[in-house]
Structure 1
């Protein structure tokens, strides 16, 4: 399940986007700006998206049962994928439609200064949420670079909010210049062009989020650092000749399944092998609390050699 910090990021984004959406819709209705309407739809979609992520966090907390013996942690990945689809289908779709409609049927934007004020306030709100999400990413990225941390992150809530707000900030800048140039040069078509650009930004954002969520949904393993750490723990245990196979899989941001096949020395008794398996399990879980389930297959050296022949 996602951390409490991730939940706080989502709640902050939900409150900000809801407030901004209402303000943008009011401004779009009063001024007739296509770019502002696209931004209003964008904020409305983002508000719904945060609600879906909160739903995903709640459902992911459900304990394991007969139908889901490993729990429901991956539901969070599903709802994050739905968020990406909504951004693409509704956010980008409506923005592109509005842009094309404004280009085909141009009409001047009235009272542009209202739009400037609303866009300025929206930048402040979105900027605050972006900083909160960025701080959460920085707190969890370790020694990785920012882009690498996003690419390897197993918590879609953080990078989804971060990318949503990055797209929102870019969209606000585009909307501002679109409205400004449209009014300055009396070219209403530029307002429609701005709406098209906003749609393209949302489409690209949604595509990247969908790609990242697809990787998590299809069974992404633990990071190389975690795998290397587990291999080190195994190597430090006496009586082990080697590791045949080590497999990991994330069932949630903080829930990893570990399967490992180990060759034990022929000199060990069955009881000693059992003791070492138990010691390995405790050592691995102590060092990596996110590894919730450990399955160790114990083999004798001569057994694995015979299996290869």
Structure 2
């Protein structure tokens, strides 16, 4: 858990530093050129910077050890702060970009010197690309650790800090291309319409990312189950134990980034002694932790079923 949190922390730090520098550069270029798309990109990067700060808190809080008041740890605190980060993207980035873009479409003003904007967009693309590559490298390492494709891991991972960085950096790269297209369109046609439309598109892109991350974190906060493949693997380990006759009920819940709780009602063999059941339960827990590193807590309840 500590190693994974440290890796996510490094990914978030790189993304945050890049976004802060990019936000300032975009703001200056946007003011010089009078471009709504550039100002929207500045708001985008500023929102991303706030997001990274909140994700830093998320990584730190979720890594705190369990205590008497929080016996299952503080993992879900990470989901709370990640949810707040997604809301910051929704309000600060998407809201400003859409409203400012619509204003530009309706009351377009003549653009000034756009050379600084193109330079900033090019530099920002390199910096955002670097941040995204670091996030993708972490994603590939974690996917290899769990033996699943990286694309699937993005869908099922409970590491919301990593997921947020990947989504936001990907959206940032697309947004930069959209902004460049808007600037070029306005420059070639002499109309600020294209610049305003680009700003609105950037806002809609941020809206999609924010809503996706909000839904992910809400599901995790409510008590999301482990991925189906993990549940099937856990069930297989339980049934493979000689003393186990069947699994009456299997419940799992994500209790933090990369942390899963397992609770199961087990029908043990009739001839199993109390000592045998205890040894079998210990062996099952050992094997579960060995095969599924994300399993943090295991609770087994002997529950007989009617058998003829």
TM range (shorter): over 0.9
CA contact (8 A) 2:8 2:59 kept: no
- The alpha carbon displacement at 1:280 in A equals 1.7
Alignment of 1:25-36 (within 5 A): 25-36=27-38
Offset, 1:288: 2.3
SS in 1 for 2:75: coil
Provide Cα deviations, 1:106-154, integer angstroms capped at 9, x if missing partner. 1111111111111111111111111111121122224544442211111
Aligned residue for 2:306, secondary structure, equals helix
Corresponding residue of 1:103? 105
Determine the structure 2 residue equivalent to 1:90: 92
Structure 1 segments of 4+ aligned residues over 3 angstroms from their partners: 142-147
2:245 to 241, 244, 247: 241
Tell me the equivalent position of 1:180.
Answer: 184
Aligned to 1:64: 66
Report the counterpart of residue 257 of structure 1 in structure 2: 261
- Alpha-carbon offset, residue 206 of structure 1: 1.0
- 1:30-45 alignment runs, 5 A limit: 30-45=32-47
Alignment partner of 2:108: what SS?
Answer: coil
Distance in 2 (CA, whole Å) between partners of 1:251 and 1:110 is 52
Given the two structures, how large is their TM-score scaled by the length of structure 1? 0.93
**Match runs of 1:184-195 below 5 Å:** 184-195=188-199
Contact 2:157 2:258 in 1 (8 A): no
Alpha carbons of structure 1 residues 287 and 148: separation in structure 2 relative to 1, 3 Å:
closer
SS of alignment partner, residue 74 of structure 1: helix
Contact 1:155 1:253 in 2 (8 A): yes
Quick check: 1:151–1:212 contact (8 Å CA) kept in 2?
A: no
In the alignment, which residue of structure 1 is the partner of 2:270? Answer: 266
**Cα distance change on mapping 1:163 and 1:48 into 2, 3 Å:** same
Contact 2:26–2:38 (CA<8 Å) still a contact in 1? Answer: yes
Q: Which runs of 5+ in 1 are unaligned?
A: none
Q: 2:20 aligns with which of 9, 14, 18?
A: 18
- Count of residue pairs brought into register by the alignment: 303
C-alpha displacement at 1:62, in angstroms? Answer: 2.1
SS in 1 for 2:252: strand
Matched residue of 1:305: which SS? coil
Q: Structure 1 CA distance, aligned partners of 2:77 and 2:190?
A: 50
User: Following the alignment from structure 1 to structure 2, what is the Cα–Cα distance between the partners of residues 4 and 64?
Assistant: 18
Shift in Å, 1:27 = 0.9
Which consecutive unaligned segments of at least 5 residues does structure 2 have? none
Question: 1:196 is matched with which residue?
Answer: 200
